[in-house]
Structure 1
Amino acid sequence: MEQNLFVYNTLTRTKEQFKPLNAPHVGMYVCGPTVYSDAHMGNARTYISFDLIFRYLSHLGFKVRYVRNITDAGHLEGDADEGEDKVSKKAKLEKLEPMEIVQRYTVGFHDVMKQLNNLPPSIEPTATGHIIEQIELVKEILKSGLAYEVNGSVYFDVEHYNQQQKYGVLSGRNLEDMLNNTRNLGGQEEKRGKLDFALWIKAKPEHLMKWPSPWGVGFPGWHLECSAMSNKYLGHKFDIHGGGIDLVPTHHTNEIAQNMASCGENPATYWVHTNMLTVNGQKMSKSLGNSFLPHELFSGDNKILNKGYSPMTVRFFMLQAHYRSTLDFGNEAMEASEKGFKRLMNAYGLIDGLKASPTNETDIAALKQRCYDAMNDDFNSPVLIAELFEASRIINSVHDGKLKIDADNLDLLQKLMKEFINDVLGLQSEIAANDDLPKVMDMVVNLRREAKANSDYATSDKIRNGLQAIGFQLKDSKEGTTWNKM
């Protein structure tokens, strides 16, 4: 399947034409959440970005197997090889079983993803469900001579590996710089080198989540989990590996090393990374007091928020920035996105009521091609949205009788709006879930029409102004009255 889709590859630092290994099939692996707390806004941005990529590839006709894991064990504090397991620590604090913590936050994560209209992945494997595969992968790396066992733990030998392959190929950093900038950590005496990382960690007696292995009772290293699960469901080599940009220096670098050691393959052709979310120019963090959770953004229940914003407004806000650019949150930016989203969806609501003309004054085919050009340029959603606002201008002009459009172009315009707004961007009307609202609004519009017919303009204006006050706009034309949520 030939496509002029270009994707920025972190590995090569260039945009490359997308050529799947086994078209029309595409394999995509995205590192999922560690389910010990609520999903944060950075998670939301990453998964909206990959939902956009998943949707667009599917729209182009590719058969995408999208694998996004759940990390429910092995992710230690500080993303290091020492310290407590994040899930276990939360379980101890709340006096619960670790799997109760996992269940609670997995359900919460899925709820947020559904509210943001993210499609579920094709496969969502868990780390604890793939312990056997991880043990087998450790065995393969030991056989390669690039790992060593000490006291029940198994470590990856980074300096030995770097003699055969460049360890920092993804980050662009050389080993000497990394060694100079890495401080000694607790437990370092077991390791041969400062950059060596754990594949399997011996469990202390108090550790809650542990499994038997050839090296003793323990648990897998965080980096190992993703290698094992991507190998199982996508093979040793697949098309796209994604995640947040913060995963590049260590997690994804170590995944590449593990795969190269076990099967001689860099696992992905294209490495795709989303950039950070900031708040008023600062990195979002709890310590700075500027962080908030998705449900707080939806409700407005946070001191840095002026008010709450709908999940679709949040999705629109995030898609207005390119996934590789830093996205800065601020109340003014959110309010502008809210207005922009309503303007776009108001036009979308008019599309089915437009009337075709025998003559035509616009070129929808060229507009449609510009929409594809935007998405084919590394999934450039902000440029696509700008083109959709041009489509909205055309819709409003046709609706107001200022522009003529023939049947063929009208059909093309209707398809363009529905395909790119719903299928690709994943945006939907906020009233779509309320099946009864259109019936109620039609009744109110009819009451107003009857009032006007009876020259009761006071009641007619009262209905119009009352609807406007609660966020509904009426538009009168020769064909009748239509309504939209503002």
Structure 2
Amino acid sequence: MGQTLLIYNTLTRQKEVFKPLHAPNVGMYVCGPTVYGDPHLGHARPAITFDILFRYLKHLGYKVRYVRNITDVGHLEHDADEGDDKIEKKARLEQLEPMEIAQYYTNRYHKAMELLNVLPPSIEPQATGHIIEQEQLVKQILANGYAYESNGSIYFDVEKYNRDHTYGILSGRNLTDIINHSRNLAGTEEKHNQADFALWKKARPEHIMRWPSPWSDGFPGWHCECTAMGKKYLGSHFDIHGGGMDLVFPHHECEIAQAVASQGDQMVRYWMHNNMITINGQKMGKSLGNFITLEQFFTGNHESLDQAYSPMTIRFFILSAHYRGTVDFSNDALKAAEKGLERLMNGIGDMERIQPSKESDATTQALVKDFARKCYEAMNDDLMTPLVISNLFEACKLINTIIDHKASISAEDLDKLKSTLNLFAFDLLGLKSEKGDNNDAREEAFGKVVDMVLELRDKAKADKDWTTSDKIRDELAADGFEVKDTKDGVTWKLNK
């Protein structure tokens, strides 16, 4: 914990030194997926963003309790008051139990996260498993006078809350603007104010998923689950709450209001939000017809894709931009990420070919000495992963210079270089080599065949059969192999 980590707090709109409430313990809550469809690229970005934070905090020596929820009920349309529950709607269409739908897509989400090398959270609570806690939250808000009952439903009284506190502190919106821009929806005559949001909804006859409550058989409003589960597992005050920027309003704004209305003060110290992934400048989403699932990326089975892209290519693509900046999807950008990842993995792998010298030259010694410091500085500056990647490429450039015998490195400095590369590329950025993932035996056999061909070339050179030697080299080059003759022997790699 010797490093000073700066993180951008959406609430204060500035970078702040991270100081946990109860160091070395850290409580972190991140809004997870709504499991009514296949995970898509938009799910990948927050998962990877907060995976990086989770990894780095643990590396700094903190004991992190990372809670990432699963929304499997109560997630209504965007106004969070009207419309069908998405899981229920799908269940009716497919004639399945709603929990079958939820479990199926939860499994799909977990599989995608595993492929992306996203670490599982400490706790992964489901909304349906915490109905009692959500009812208790509603009771507390009612008892404190910030909610009211209407026809069996409970609504949060935004106007009354705003008189005593301030509604809109996270998003920067004021209540007048919110009311003026609120949609007039059928059934909202139950509410005192257009901006009021549901804490508990009375179930209509066709609503499958319902629970008994003091007010009606119904279900909790979308915003309740995170407040209730965050409090249950992290306490009334915890350090970090994260999610996508699209959740700032209304979801996280409503969470703040619920917390203050129920306990008198805010629960969360740092609010963190990753930005969106766009296609041609538009947010990726089903309604815009530009929706691409992670499985489609992995298989290439989508009309907008030129080819399949591996999970690590997707991860590298996301980490190549700062988490608070937008990432615009294009095949060119993904192909560049694919080549960049390959170059990085090849550079790290090439370290094994280095024969250390007795001592490092002055330039190498300085680069190795500064390498770890520059990587830490980038991570400590609000998780500046693009700069970390840039530093990793600088290290790979040094590796190539050493292999080409234009620089020298001592065994001690080589160990430092390896250690830092492995730490930041694999342990903290969560990258991994995908070579041989599907068939290690085939990869090994492939390498042996190439080595055998190069042995034949060495024999031809020893016999001064330059024609055969050159022919083998040229044929390999034509097939994409880069062959280098060095004083330490022959090396090769396959370029895509």
Which TM-score band (shorter chain)? over 0.9
Contact 2:240/2:268 (<8 A) preserved? yes
Contact 1:34/1:75 (<8 A) preserved? yes
Instruction: Assess, with a 3 A threshold, how the Cα gap between structure 1 residues 255 and 412 changes in structure 2: closer, same or farther.
Output: same
Q: How far has the Cα of 1:230 moved from its partner?
A: 0.7
Give the structure 2 partner of residue 39 of structure 1.
39
Q: How far has the Cα of 1:283 moved from its partner?
A: 2.5
One-letter amino acid of the counterpart of residue 195, structure 2: L
Give the structure 1 partner of residue 251 of structure 2.
251
Q: 1:416 aligns with which of 417, 420, 425?
A: 420
Give the structure 2 partner of residue 303 of structure 1.
303
Q: How far has the Cα of 1:432 moved from its partner?
A: 5.5
Q: How far has the Cα of 1:380 moved from its partner?
A: 0.4
- 1:61 equivalent to 2:61? Answer yes
Task: Give the stretch that moved more between structures: 201-210 or 445-454.
Answer: 445-454
SS at match of 1:199: strand
Give the structure 2 partner of residue 478 of structure 1.
487
SS at match of 1:232: helix
- 1:454 equivalent to 2:459? Answer yes
Deviation per CA, 1:251-310, whole angstroms, max 9, x where unpaired? 000001111111123121110001111112233233443221111112221111111111
Contact 1:24/1:62 (<8 A) preserved? yes
Task: Give the stretch that moved more between structures: 180-189 or 204-213.
Answer: 180-189
Q: How far has the Cα of 1:151 moved from its partner?
A: 1.8
Give the structure 1 partner of residue 463 of structure 2.
none
Please show how residues 316-355 of structure 1 align to structure 2 within 5 Å: 316-355=316-355
Give the structure 2 partner of residue 315 of structure 1.
315
Instruction: Assess, with a 3 A threshold, how the Cα gap between structure 1 residues 274 and 392 changes in structure 2: closer, same or farther.
Output: same
Contact 2:29/2:241 (<8 A) preserved? yes
Give the structure 2 partner of residue 394 of structure 1.
398
Task: Give the stretch that moved more between structures: 449-458 or 97-106.
Answer: 449-458
One-letter amino acid of the counterpart of residue 489, structure 2: G
SS at match of 1:454: helix
Q: How far has the Cα of 1:53 moved from its partner?
A: 1.2
Instruction: Assess, with a 3 A threshold, how the Cα gap between structure 1 residues 437 and 429 changes in structure 2: closer, same or farther.
Output: farther
- 1:368 equivalent to 2:372? Answer yes
Deviation per CA, 1:128-173, whole angstroms, max 9, x where unpaired? 0111111111111111111111221111111111111111010111
SS at match of 1:269: strand
Instruction: Give, in whole Å, the separation in 2 of the partners of 1:234 and 1:463.
Output: 62
Give the structure 2 partner of residue 286 of structure 1.
286
Contact 2:11/2:170 (<8 A) preserved? yes
One-letter amino acid of the counterpart of residue 386, structure 2: P
Give the structure 2 partner of residue 222 of structure 1.
222
Instruction: Give, in whole Å, the separation in 2 of the partners of 1:120 and 1:210.
Output: 29
Deviation per CA, 1:314-354, whole angstroms, max 9, x where unpaired? 11111000000010111111111111111111101112332
Instruction: Assess, with a 3 A threshold, how the Cα gap between structure 1 residues 392 and 303 changes in structure 2: closer, same or farther.
Output: same
Q: How far has the Cα of 1:82 moved from its partner?
A: 1.1
Instruction: Give, in whole Å, the separation in 2 of the partners of 1:480 and 1:438.
Output: 22
Contact 1:349/1:484 (<8 A) preserved? no
Instruction: Assess, with a 3 A threshold, how the Cα gap between structure 1 residues 459 and 126 changes in structure 2: closer, same or farther.
Output: farther
Please show how residues 39-438 of structure 1 align to structure 2 within 5 Å: 39-361=39-361, 362=364, 363=366, 364-431=368-435, 433=437, 434-437=439-442
Gaps of 5+ in 1: none
Instruction: Give, in whole Å, the separation in 2 of the partners of 1:202 and 1:215.
Output: 8
Instruction: Give, in whole Å, the separation in 1 of the partners of 2:108 and 2:79.
Output: 22
Instruction: Give, in whole Å, the separation in 2 of the partners of 1:288 and 1:108.
Output: 23
One-letter amino acid of the counterpart of residue 394, structure 2: E
Deviation per CA, 1:436-469, whole angstroms, max 9, x where unpaired? 3553244224312331233153774377348x54
Identity %: 56
SS at match of 2:349: helix
Instruction: Give, in whole Å, the separation in 1 of the partners of 2:471 and 2:63.
Output: 55
SS at match of 1:56: helix
Instruction: Give, in whole Å, the separation in 2 of the partners of 1:49 and 1:175.
Output: 31
Instruction: Assess, with a 3 A threshold, how the Cα gap between structure 1 residues 307 and 241 changes in structure 2: closer, same or farther.
Output: same
Instruction: Assess, with a 3 A threshold, how the Cα gap between structure 1 residues 473 and 98 changes in structure 2: closer, same or farther.
Output: farther
Give the structure 1 partner of residue 8 of structure 2.
8
Instruction: Give, in whole Å, the separation in 2 of the partners of 1:79 and 1:482.
Output: 61
Instruction: Assess, with a 3 A threshold, how the Cα gap between structure 1 residues 104 and 462 changes in structure 2: closer, same or farther.
Output: farther
Contact 2:473/2:483 (<8 A) preserved? no
Contact 2:477/2:483 (<8 A) preserved? no
Deviation per CA, 1:175-209, whole angstroms, max 9, x where unpaired? 12212221322221111111111111111121110
CA RMSD of aligned residues (A): 1.8
Instruction: Give, in whole Å, the separation in 1 of the partners of 2:164 and 2:484.
Output: 69
Instruction: Give, in whole Å, the separation in 1 of the partners of 2:5 and 2:436.
Output: 32
Deviation per CA, 1:337-382, whole angstroms, max 9, x where unpaired? 1111111111011123322212313121212101111110000001
Contact 1:445/1:481 (<8 A) preserved? no
Deviation per CA, 1:72-105, whole angstroms, max 9, x where unpaired? 0000123421111110000001111101101111
One-letter amino acid of the counterpart of residue 11, structure 1: L
Instruction: Assess, with a 3 A threshold, how the Cα gap between structure 1 residues 437 and 347 changes in structure 2: closer, same or farther.
Output: farther
Instruction: Give, in whole Å, the separation in 2 of the partners of 1:246 and 1:160.
Output: 26
Instruction: Give, in whole Å, the separation in 2 of the partners of 1:408 and 1:348.
Output: 17
SS at match of 2:8: strand
SS at match of 2:164: coil
Contact 2:179/2:195 (<8 A) preserved? yes
Gaps of 5+ in 2: 461-467
Instruction: Give, in whole Å, the separation in 2 of the partners of 1:112 and 1:458.
Output: 46
Contact 1:448/1:459 (<8 A) preserved? no
Contact 1:451/1:459 (<8 A) preserved? no
Number of residues paired by the alignment? 483
Instruction: Assess, with a 3 A threshold, how the Cα gap between structure 1 residues 420 and 201 changes in structure 2: closer, same or farther.
Output: same
